[in-house]
C-alpha cells in the first residue's frame, strides 16, 4: 500500500435539499503524485476538495490528510497544505506583494519566501501592481504563489487553468509539473478537461454524479483504454466473416463491417490471416483506439 | 495569538479606512466653516464657553449618527473578505477560529477608536483655526478640556460597543452587504422611535443616544452602559459559536 497523503473513506455528502452530491467516495492520493481529479461540471469535484480542506462540514465517512483527521488536527494539517479553490481569491485592492504579506503574517513563514514564490510564478516585475489590475492569468498565478508561500507538502488546486488563455494554461501546467518534479510536492488538481490532465497527471480519479468511476495510475488508465480499443474490419460479407472467427470476441456486425475487441497486434494479424485463408476479401483492417476523451465519455455514460 | 497585523494590512486602502478618517473630521470641519462664514450665529457661545460648545455642536450630530456609522464601518471591514471571495483562503490558513474571529473584531474596534480620537483632535484643530480667522472667539483664551473630552469619548465608545458586536455577527453571517447594513440602519430607526419608552435601556441601538443626550451627567458608568458591556460579551460569544458551528465556510 503506497503512502497516501489524502485518503477519504466512504465519503457521503448531501445538500440541504436532500440531493446527494457525493456517494461513498474513496479517494486515494499517493505521496509524490500529481493526482488529476477529473469529472464533468457538477460531478462533485469542488465539494470533495472543500470537504478535504474543511470548508464544508463532513457529514459521513472519513477524511485523512497526512494520516490525520481534519476535524481534530486542522491547524497542523493546514500548515502543510496550499490551496486554490475555484476563482482566485486575492485582495484586489492590495498589490501582489501586499497580498503575499497578508498571508505570510497568517502563516508565519520567513519574509524571503515572498520574493521566492513571486519568482516561481513569474510575477516579480508585477509585484508592486495592484492585484485588481492583473489579468486573470496573473491573478491565478498570484493565487498559486499564495498557496506556495508556506512551502506546503500538498497543493490542492481546483480547476487552476479555468478561464486561462492557451499560453496561461501551458504555463500553469509546466509550473505544476515542475513543483511536483523539482520540489517533490504532492498535487491534487481538479479539472473537467481530460486532455489537460493527460499532459501532467501521474494518477487519475474520474468522478461522475458523485461516484468515483475510475481511480489509478496513468498507466492503469492506459491499460483500460487499450482494453476498450476495437478492431474494425471491412469485408465483402461481414456475416460470413464473423461466423468464421470463432475464438475472437466479435461484437458488432453490420453490412460489410464488423468489429472485434482489440487484444493484441499479433491477434489482429492472425484474424486477418484466417479471413484471407477462408477466401474472404478483406478491404480494410483498422484499430480504433479510444482516445481518453472517448474513454471518459464512455466511463461516465456507464 | 491573534493576527491583528494581517487583518490591518487587509483593510488598507479600503473604504473602511477612508470612512473612519472622514467620520473623524467631517463634523468639526463643517462646523468650523460655519463659525468662520457666519460668526454672528455662534459668537455668544464661542466667546464664553468655546471648547464646550464646539464639542456639543459636533457631538449632537455625532451621537445621533453614531449607531449608523458603527454599522457602516463594521460592514465595510467584513465586506472586504466577501467582495474578494477570500473567506475560503482565510479558513484554509493555519489559524485558529478564535484568531480569525477576534482579530477582525479588534481591527474594527481600533478603527472606531482611531476615528473617535481623530474626532477629538479635529475639535481642537478646527477650534483653533476658527479662532485664527475670527479673533473674537475665545478658543485661545481657555484651556482645552481634555479630561471632559476623553470622558465623553470613552463613554460613547462603551455605549457603541454592543452595536459593533451585534453588527459584526450580522456582517459575518450575511454575504450581502446590504442585508447587515439594512438591519443596522433599521434597528437604529427603531431605537429613535423607542427613545421615550423606559424599556429602551434594553435596546443596544439606542445606547449612544442615551449616553449623550440623557446620561452624560451620570457619574461613572450608567446602567445602559453596563448593559452594553454585557451585551457585547454575549453577542461576541453567540456570534463566535454561530460561525464556528456553521456547516459551510468561505
β-pairing verdict for A4-14 and A20-25: antiparallel
> For residue B237, which phi and psi values (nearest 5 degrees)?
-70, -45
User: Is the confidence at residue A11, as pLDDT, over 90?
Assistant: no
- List, for residues A157-167, the tens digit of each pLDDT value: 999 888 788 88
Q: Inform me whether the C-beta atom of residue B175 falls under 8 Å from chain A C-beta atoms.
A: no
Q: How close, in Å, is residue B89 to chain A by CA atoms?
A: 7
Nearest residue in chain B measured CA to CA from A109? B94
**Cβ-based neighbours of A41, under 8 Å, separated by 6 or more:** A192
Residues listed for chain B: 250
Lowest mean pLDDT among A209-218, A253-262, B207-216: A253-262
Q: What is the pLDDT of residue A292?
A: 62
User: Is the confidence at residue A1, as pLDDT, over 60?
Assistant: no
Q: What is the ipTM of this complex?
A: 0.86
Joined grid coordinates for residue B174: 450575511
Q: How close, in Å, is residue A18 to chain B by CA atoms?
A: 15
What average pLDDT does the segment A222-248 reach?
83
How confident is residue A301, by pLDDT bands cut at 50, 70 and 90? low
Q: What is the pLDDT of residue A81?
A: 93
Q: What is the pLDDT of residue A49?
A: 93
Q: Sort out which chain B residues have CB atoms less than 8 A from A107's CB and list them.
A: 93-94
CB of B67 within 8 A of CB of B188? yes
**Yes or no, beta carbons of B10 and A79 under 8 Å apart:** no
Query: Quick one: what percent of chain B has pLDDT higher than 90?
Result: 69
CB of A149 within 8 A of CB of A84? no
Query: In 3D, which of B108, B116, B103, B156 has the Cα closest to residue B24?
Result: B116
CB of A266 within 8 A of CB of A211? no
The Cα–Cα gap between B92 and A84 comes to 10
Q: Inform me whether the C-beta atom of residue B86 falls under 8 Å from chain A C-beta atoms.
A: yes
**Cβ-based neighbours of A223, under 8 Å, separated by 6 or more:** none
User: Is the confidence at residue A87, as pLDDT, over 80?
Assistant: no
- List, for residues B53-81, the tens digit of each pLDDT value: 999 999 999 998 999 999 999 999 999 99
Q: Where are the domains of chain B?
A: 2-245
Q: What is the pLDDT of residue A163?
A: 77
Long-range contact pairs involving B132-140 (C-beta distance under 8 Å, separation at least 24): B133/B36, B134/B35, B134/B36, B134/B39, B136/B39, B136/B43, B136/B47, B137/B35, B137/B39, B137/B42, B137/B43, B137/B46, B137/B47, B137/B50, B138/B46, B138/B47, B138/B48, B138/B50, B139/B46, B139/B50, B139/B51, B139/B54
Q: Inform me whether the C-beta atom of residue A120 falls under 8 Å from chain B C-beta atoms.
A: no
The Cα–Cα gap between A71 and A64 comes to 9
Q: Inform me whether the C-beta atom of residue A214 falls under 8 Å from chain B C-beta atoms.
A: no
What average pLDDT does the segment A268-295 reach?
83
Cα radius of gyration (chain B): 20
Compute the CA torsion angle A147, A153, A158, A162 (nearest 10 deg): 60
Q: What is the pLDDT of residue A203?
A: 94
- Which residue did the predictor score with more confidence, B12 or B204? B204
- Which residue did the predictor score with more confidence, B238 or A210? B238
**Yes or no, beta carbons of A93 and B5 under 8 Å apart:** no
Q: Sort out which chain B residues have CB atoms less than 8 A from A79's CB and list them.
A: 94
Joined grid coordinates for residue A121: 510564478
Q: Inform me whether the C-beta atom of residue A89 falls under 8 Å from chain B C-beta atoms.
A: yes
User: Is the confidence at residue B234, as pLDDT, over 90?
Assistant: yes
pTM of the model: 0.85
Looking up cell 449623550 gives B212
How confident is residue A290, by pLDDT bands cut at 50, 70 and 90? low
Q: What is the pLDDT of residue A219?
A: 86
Q: Sort out which chain B residues have CB atoms less than 8 A from A85's CB and list them.
A: 88, 92, 250
Q: What is the pLDDT of residue A293?
A: 65
What average pLDDT does the segment A209-238 reach?
85
**Yes or no, beta carbons of B84 and A78 under 8 Å apart:** no
Ordered DSSP codes for chain A: ---EEEEEEEEEEE-TTS-EEEEEE--EEETT-EEEEE--TTSSHHHHHHHHTTSB---EEEEEETTEETTT-HHHHHTTEEEE-SS----TTSBHHHHHHHHHHHHT--THHHHHHHHHTT-GGGTTSBGGGS-HHHHHHHHHHHHHTT--SEEEEESTTTT--HHHHHHHHHHHHHHHHHH--EEEEEES-HHHHHTT-SEEEEEETTEEEEEEEHHHHHHHHHHT-EEEEEES-HHHHHHH-TTS-EEEEETTEEEEE---HHHHHHHHHHHHHTTPPEEEEEEEPPPHHHHHHHHHH-
**Cβ-based neighbours of A100, under 8 Å, separated by 6 or more:** A114, A117, A118, A142, A145, A146, A149
User: Is the confidence at residue A302, as pLDDT, over 70?
Assistant: no
Q: How close, in Å, is residue A37 to chain B by CA atoms?
A: 20
**Yes or no, beta carbons of B6 and A102 under 8 Å apart:** yes
Count of alpha carbons within 13 Å of A122, Cβ hemisphere only?
9
CB of B222 within 8 A of CB of B229? no
Q: Sort out which chain A residues have CB atoms less than 8 A from B87's CB and list them.
A: 89
**Yes or no, beta carbons of A91 and B84 under 8 Å apart:** yes
Q: How close, in Å, is residue A56 to chain B by CA atoms?
A: 5
Count CB atoms within 10 A of the CB of residue A172: 23
Q: What is the pLDDT of residue A291?
A: 63
How confident is residue B1, by pLDDT bands cut at 50, 70 and 90? low
What average pLDDT does the segment A264-279 reach?
88
How confident is residue B168, by pLDDT bands cut at 50, 70 and 90? very high
How confident is residue A21, by pLDDT bands cut at 50, 70 and 90? confident
User: Is the confidence at residue A225, as pLDDT, over 80?
Assistant: no
Describe chain B by its helix, strand, coil percentages, rounded to 5. Answer: 80, 0, 20
How confident is residue A265, by pLDDT bands cut at 50, 70 and 90? confident
Q: What is the pLDDT of residue A289?
A: 67
Output the average pLDDT for chain B.
91
Query: In 3D, which of A65, A279, A243 has the Cα closest to residue A154?
Result: A65
Lowest mean pLDDT among A111-115, A190-194, B177-181, B192-196: A190-194
Query: Quick one: what percent of chain A has pLDDT higher than 70?
Result: 96
Q: What is the pLDDT of residue B166?
A: 96
Considering only CB atoms, B13 lies closest to which of A85, A90, A94, namely: A94
Amino acid at each position: 500500500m503506497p503512502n497516501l497523503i489524502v485518503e477519504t473513506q466512504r465519503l457521503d455528502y448531501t445538500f440541504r435539499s436532500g440531493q446527494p452530491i457525493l456517494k461513498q467516495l474513496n479517494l486515494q492520493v499517493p505521496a509524490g503524485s500529481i493526482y488529476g481529479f477529473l469529472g464533468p461540471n457538477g460531478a462533485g469535484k469542488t465539494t470533495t476538495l472543500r470537504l478535504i480542506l474543511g470548508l464544508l462540514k463532513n457529514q459521513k465517512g472519513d477524511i485523512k490528510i497526512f494520516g490525520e483527521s481534519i476535524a481534530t488536527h486542522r491547524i497542523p494539517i493546514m500548515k502543510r497544505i496550499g490551496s486554490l479553490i475555484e476563482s482566485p481569491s486575492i485582495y484586489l485592492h492590495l498589490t501582489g506583494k501586499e497580498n503575499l504579506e497578508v498571508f505570510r503574517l497568517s502563516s508565519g513563514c520567513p519574509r524571503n519566501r515572498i520574493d521566492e514564490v513571486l519568482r516561481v510564478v513569474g510575477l516579480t516585475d508585477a509585484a508592486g501592481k495592484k492585484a485588481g489590475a492583473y489579468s486573470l492569468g496573473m491573478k491565478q498565478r498570484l493565487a498559486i504563489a499564495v498557496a506556495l508561500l508556506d512551502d506546503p507538502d500538498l497543493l490542492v488546486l481546483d480547476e487552476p487553468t479555468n478561464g486561462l488563455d492557451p499560453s496561461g494554461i501551458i504555463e500553469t501546467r509546466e509550473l505544476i509539473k515542475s513543483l511536483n518534479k523539482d520540489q517533490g510536492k504532492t498535487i491534487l488538481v481538479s479539472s473537467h478537461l481530460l486532455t489537460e490532465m493527460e499532459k501532467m497527471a501521474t494518477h487519475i480519479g474520474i468522478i461522475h454524479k458523485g461516484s468515483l468511476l475510475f481511480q489509478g495510475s496513468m498507466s492503469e488508465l492506459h491499460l483500460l483504454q487499450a482494453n476498450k480499443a476495437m478492431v474494425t474490419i471491412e469485408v465483402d460479407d461481414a456475416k460470413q466473416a464473423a461466423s468464421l472467427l470463432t475464438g475472437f470476441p466479435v461484437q458488432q456486425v453490420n453490412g460489410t463491417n464488423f468489429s472485434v475487441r482489440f487484444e493484441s497486434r499479433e491477434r489482429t494479424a492472425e484474424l486477418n490471416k484466417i479471413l484471407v485463408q477462408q477466401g474472404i476479401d478483406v478491404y480494410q483492417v483498422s484499430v480504433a483506439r479510444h482516445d481518453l476523451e472517448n474513454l471518459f465519455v464512455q466511463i461516465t455514460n456507464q | 495569538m491573534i493576527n491583528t497585523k494581517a487583518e490591518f494590512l487587509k483593510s488598507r486602502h479600503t473604504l473602511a479606512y477612508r470612512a473612519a478618517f472622514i467620520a473623524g473630521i467631517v463634523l468639526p470641519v463643517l462646523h468650523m466653516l460655519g463659525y468662520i462664514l457666519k460668526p454672528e450665529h455662534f459668537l455668544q457661545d464661542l466667546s464664553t464657553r468655546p471648547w464646550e460648545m464646539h464639542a456639543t455642536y459636533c457631538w449632537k450630530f455625532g451621537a445621533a449618527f453614531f449607531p449608523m456609522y458603527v454599522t457602516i464601518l463594521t460592514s465595510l471591514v467584513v465586506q472586504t473578505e466577501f467582495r474578494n471571495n477570500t473567506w475560503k483562503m482565510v479558513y484554509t490558513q493555519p489559524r485558529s477560529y478564535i484568531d480569525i474571529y477576534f482579530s477582525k473584531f479588534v481591527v474594527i474596534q481600533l478603527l472606531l477608536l482611531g476615528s473617535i480620537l481623530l474626532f477629538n483632535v479635529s475639535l481642537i484643530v478646527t477650534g483653533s483655526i476658527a479662532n485664527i480667522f475670527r479673533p473674537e472667539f475665545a478658543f485661545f483664551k481657555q484651556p482645552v478640556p481634555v479630561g471632559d473630552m476623553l470622558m465623553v469619548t470613552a463613554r460613547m465608545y462603551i455605549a457603541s460597543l454592543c452595536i459593533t458586536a451585534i453588527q459584526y455577527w450580522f456582517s459575518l453571517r450575511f454575504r450581502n452587504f446590504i442585508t447587515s447594513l439594512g438591519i443596522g440602519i433599521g434597528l437604529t430607526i427603531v431605537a429613535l422611535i423607542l427613545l421615550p419608552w423606559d424599556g429602551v435601556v434594553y435596546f443596544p441601538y439606542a445606547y449612544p443616544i442615551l449616553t449623550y443626550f440623557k446620561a452624560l451627567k451620570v457619574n461613572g458608568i450608567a446602567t445602559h452602559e453596563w448593559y452594553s458591556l454585557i451585551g457585547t460579551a454575549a453577542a461576541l460569544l453567540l456570534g463566535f459559536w454561530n460561525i464556528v458551528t456553521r456547516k459551510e465556510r468561505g
